[in-house]
Amino acid sequence: MQDDDLNIEKLYYSIGEVAAMFQVNASLLRFWEKEFTILNPRKNTKGDRHYTQKDIESFRVIYQLVKEKGFTLNGAKQYLKGHKKAEIAAETTDSSVQIKESLQSLKQFLQEIKNKI
């Protein structure tokens, strides 16, 4: 069986592999890592960067904003900052809805038990 048949994603990618994915220089990844806090690849004791899927997705978002949509670096930072706040608010809202539904279900269950007594 060949590796192509397995279609297994790696846990970590080197800076060269990520640069090749986006057809950019490795220096751009290092530069954006300094500019954007969401880019935070792991480094080994030698200082080699190891990018996870999450790191690559973060880079993809920045790449789309800056290279494809024409955002400035500061504009992309502001966009990401506002977008992150919106994500946190959405997660909080989702959690609140789930808690409320759970409590309503529990209330209904307790009322059923009370009626049987």
> Model confidence over 7-20: pLDDT tens digits?
567 888 999 999 99
Q: What is the pLDDT of residues 53-85, one digit of tens each?
A: 989 988 998 999 999 889 899 888 888 887 765
pLDDT(116) > 70: yes
Q: What is the pLDDT of residues 25-34, one digit of tens each?
A: 999 999 999 9
- Domain coordinates in residue numbering, the chain: 1-70, 72-117
Q: Nearest-CA neighbor of 63 among 25, 9, 13? A: 25
Q: Nearest-CA neighbor of 37 among 80, 5, 4, 8? A: 80
Architecture of the CATH domain 1-70: Orthogonal Bundle (1.10)
pLDDT of residue 88: 46
Q: What is the pLDDT of residues 96-108, one digit of tens each?
A: 667 777 778 878 8
pLDDT(38) > 70: yes
Q: Distances from the Cα of 69 to the Cαs of 23, 63, 75, 94, 109, in angstroms?
A: 17, 9, 11, 30, 52
